[in-house]
Structure 1
Amino acid sequence: MPHFAYKGRNARGELMQGVLEGADSNAVADQLFGSGVTPVEITQTRQAAAAKDGEDWWTRFSEKKVTSMDVQLFSRQLYTLLKSGVPIMKGLAGLQESAISKSFGRVIKDLRESLDSGRELSAAMHKHPTVFNNFYLSMVRVGEMTGKLDEVMLRLFDHLEFDREMKQRVKSATRYPTFVIIAMVLAMVVVNVFVIPQFVKVFESFKAELPLMTRILIASSKFTVEYWPALIVGAIGGYFSFRAWTNTKAGLLKWDRYKLKFPIAGKIIHKATMARFARSFALSSRSGVPIVQALTVVSQTADNSYLSAQIEQMRDSVERGDSILRTAIVAKIFTPIVLQMIAIGEESGSLDDLMDEIAAMYEREVDYELKTLSSQIEPIMITFLGAMVLVLALGIFLPIWDLGKAAMH
């Protein structure tokens, strides 16, 4: 379609200008009126809007990307506008003008243009997969189908708030252990590359037979010093090979299943994912989504492909006529207490309320696990540090001690 350069005035009388794509000048005028801009001049141009935006490519490259907080606030603001009876086109125009993030402002602008051309909101959002995930799109589609888009937006806001808080708490709890592990690895590298070679010169001057642990440390240090380029290349190659393996469907499935077996982090990942599953299922059910479709939507919220596959198997079984309780037992991803709550929810017809209770229970357990995460990791780190110090003491100081006693005698 052709592009049109326009000049106009907004509700505050400010001059607005830019380039829009449309079938003709009348279509562009309709877009401007719909966004609250009164056109003054509209002329056809060969300059595309993308080209105009590309003039300041460095600003586009360096500006802040769209974050989950932007989407969360957008959901809350859109809920308020729709609840107040504001037309969606006018509401999006106001959100675009008040957007703090320029990149998200362009996303809202594209949503307005897509809606003006006759597309649904969910279809317009589908053009921005990095901003709106599959679950978000599915829930917006449900809101459009049921006529409850405002309620869906409020529930999406609550869902994103829970998701953001969960990620922040995990990052906060793992920050100190990660720092300690990195410091330990750097210390081992420094000892291997700089400390042990200096002791080797001392040991060689005595020309005495060294203990086994000392010889192991010397061999390890010599290998590190001589082959450090190969070690770096091997580490980089291993990282990219691992990334390529996890990018395959089979590899990601195996890795996500293995992550659930990690000593400490595994149970946190499992409980956090199941809390998200229960909360999302309750949200979908309250929005009037059929159970089969709800399980399809909810499986997309699980950031673990193994658990997502188990939920999809539950959906297939429910589609064949099995009860949710039976499919949940076969999936083997729920605790007995949760299974009992699902059974009560099915019998009483209040499965969505029971799913909220299950989500709250999992959230409390995750909260406790995160609060005690540091105390659980500390014994492991202390043990590892003690073993490292013991190896260094036996390998370096023991032979010096033996040589000192021999010299005294």
Structure 2
Amino acid sequence: MPLFQYKGRNQRGEAVRGHLEAVSPDAVAAQLMNSGVIPIDIGVAQVREDVFAGLKARLAASTRITLTDLSLFSRQMYTLIKAGVPIMQALRGLRDSTQNPALAKVIISVGESLDTGLDLTSALRRHPQVFSPLYVNMVQVGETTGSLQEVFLQLAIYLEREKDTRDRIKSATRYPMFVVAAIFIAIFIINLFVIPTFAKVYAGFKIELPMATQILIASSNFTVAYWPVILMTIITAVFALRYYVRTPEGRYRWHKMKLDIPVVGKVIYKATLGRFARALAVMMKSGVPLVQGMTVISRAVDNDYISDRIVQMRDGVERGETIARTAAATGMFPSLVIQMIAVGEDTGSVDELMFNVAEYYEREVDYDITNLSTALQPILIVFLSIMVFILALGVFLPMWDLAQVARKG
């Protein structure tokens, strides 16, 4: 459809302008009138070929909007709304002050949507790649109840904690992943360059090699002869795995498998449950109905396996069961947490108890992350020791045999 540019005035008499896609100028006028904007001028948008502008737009589109950007945006919106600044003026100020061009573009689009008469919730919902269902639903509740500033504050706190948890997990797992990758690269290089040199030396002695050495030499010969095939197989397997993980079945299996990884899986599981508990507490405190809140969080929890368990809890609550009973049926929470939830239901303070559950898991995650490197080091040392032992056995056993023969001679 062609792109039209328009000028008009909204219900407050303010001048507005923007762009809309439609089949004709009449369709643009009808769309503007339905949104409360009186059109003054409508024309086909002139698209100019500007290499620099196109490059700048591509760079802006490729810039990622991080959790830090969203938490800062939420906290600034809270501060400006609390100070009595109108939303349109607040968005203009944030658009000019943000350092992320992609976020600035989104803010401009949100402002244009508000100019056409949409509410803030509908404007944010047009950018699902930036604002999650959790974010949009909480803003909707804030607009409905008149507590938008408190909602933005809760969102800022939630996003900051989410960012901190993810960064701590990445930091704790970065070193073990680097060590494992370095070990496999070293093995590949040894097979490709080091063992062939020893094999030539042993071939000149014309002696029977130990089984361990024969296996190493056979592995090295295979690597030298077929290393392009091996490399292409690895690359193909990586891309095939990434494609499979993006399918619904593959994504579910991968998310479930992540939780079963020794040592690390336990940390990921607790961190995900902590995010679920805090998100649910924030939504309930903001006035979102329990069933709706669970539905939104099940889509935004970023783990399909746990998402299924949350849906089970939601279905149980819809049938009239208590949260504690549905939580126990999923097997997600320990008995201590279930007891806390039951007390919250009895006292009418489920949101506060869910905050306590979130803090419980966050403390557990902090402790586990602090000790994660210590727990992984013995596993890495044992793995590395086995690899070194196998290589040393295969390389030095023939030398030992030669030394024994020389002594007898």
Length-normalised TM-score, structure 2: 0.88
DSSP 3-state at the match of 1:239: helix
2:98 corresponds to which residue? Answer: 99
| 1:225-374 → structure 2 map (5 Å cutoff) | 225-374=224-373
CA RMSD of aligned residues (A): 2.5
Structure 1 residues 376-385 or 178-187, which shifts more? 178-187
2:13 corresponds to which residue? Answer: none
Amino acid at match of 2:118: R
CA deviations on 1:301-358 (whole Å, 9 max, x unpaired) are: 3121100110011101110111111111110010111111111111111111111111
**Take 2:129 and 2:46, find their aligned partners in 1: how far apart are those partners?**
23
Q: Which residue of 2, 5, 23 corresponds with 2:4? A: 2
8 Å Cα contact 1:192-1:224 kept in structure 2: yes
Q: CA offset at residue 67 of structure 1?
A: 2.2
2:154 corresponds to which residue? Answer: 155
| 1:159-170 → structure 2 map (5 Å cutoff) | 159-170=158-169
**Take 1:65 and 1:269, find their aligned partners in 2: how far apart are those partners?**
24
Q: CA offset at residue 200 of structure 1?
A: 0.5
Structure 1 residues 399-408 or 263-272, which shifts more? 399-408
**Take 1:90 and 1:327, find their aligned partners in 2: how far apart are those partners?**
45
8 Å Cα contact 2:67-2:160 kept in structure 1: no
Structure 1 residues 260-269 or 231-240, which shifts more? 231-240
Q: Which residue of 44, 47, 50 corresponds with 2:45? A: 47
Q: CA offset at residue 103 of structure 1?
A: 2.1
**Take 1:225 and 1:123, find their aligned partners in 2: how far apart are those partners?**
60
DSSP 3-state at the match of 1:65: coil
Q: CA offset at residue 52 of structure 1?
A: 6.9
**Take 2:57 and 2:405, find their aligned partners in 1: how far apart are those partners?**
72
1:397 corresponds to which residue? Answer: 396
**1:56 and 2:53 aligned:** yes
**Take 1:52 and 1:106, find their aligned partners in 2: how far apart are those partners?**
19
**Take 1:5 and 1:188, find their aligned partners in 2: how far apart are those partners?**
67
**Take 1:48 and 1:334, find their aligned partners in 2: how far apart are those partners?**
58
CA deviations on 1:3-61 (whole Å, 9 max, x unpaired) are: 1599xxxxxxxxxxx9832767xx8xxx9xxxxxxxxxx98664357x57875222223
8 Å Cα contact 1:125-1:132 kept in structure 2: yes
Percent identical among aligned pairs is 46
**Take 2:241 and 2:141, find their aligned partners in 1: how far apart are those partners?**
37
8 Å Cα contact 2:4-2:45 kept in structure 1: no
**Take 2:206 and 2:380, find their aligned partners in 1: how far apart are those partners?**
37
DSSP 3-state at the match of 2:129: coil
1:115 corresponds to which residue? Answer: 114
CA deviations on 1:233-273 (whole Å, 9 max, x unpaired) are: 21122112212222221221122112111111111011000
DSSP 3-state at the match of 1:3: strand
**Take 1:304 and 1:231, find their aligned partners in 2: how far apart are those partners?**
32
2:19 corresponds to which residue? Answer: 21
Amino acid at match of 1:234: T
8 Å Cα contact 1:19-1:48 kept in structure 2: no
CA deviations on 1:138-173 (whole Å, 9 max, x unpaired) are: 221222232222111110000100000011111211
8 Å Cα contact 2:19-2:45 kept in structure 1: no
**1:171 and 2:170 aligned:** yes
Structure 1 residues 239-248 or 110-119, which shifts more? 239-248
2:199 corresponds to which residue? Answer: 200
**Take 2:102 and 2:316, find their aligned partners in 1: how far apart are those partners?**
43
CA change 1:354–1:48 in 2 (3 A) is: farther
8 Å Cα contact 1:259-1:266 kept in structure 2: yes
**Take 1:145 and 1:52, find their aligned partners in 2: how far apart are those partners?**
44
Structure 1 residues 393-402 or 295-304, which shifts more? 295-304
8 Å Cα contact 1:260-1:270 kept in structure 2: yes
Q: Which runs of 5+ in 2 are unaligned?
A: 9-15, 21-27
Q: Which runs of 5+ in 1 are unaligned?
A: 7-17, 32-41
CA change 1:135–1:306 in 2 (3 A) is: same
Amino acid at match of 1:365: E
8 Å Cα contact 1:317-1:327 kept in structure 2: yes
8 Å Cα contact 2:191-2:223 kept in structure 1: yes
**Take 1:201 and 1:347, find their aligned partners in 2: how far apart are those partners?**
78
8 Å Cα contact 2:274-2:357 kept in structure 1: yes
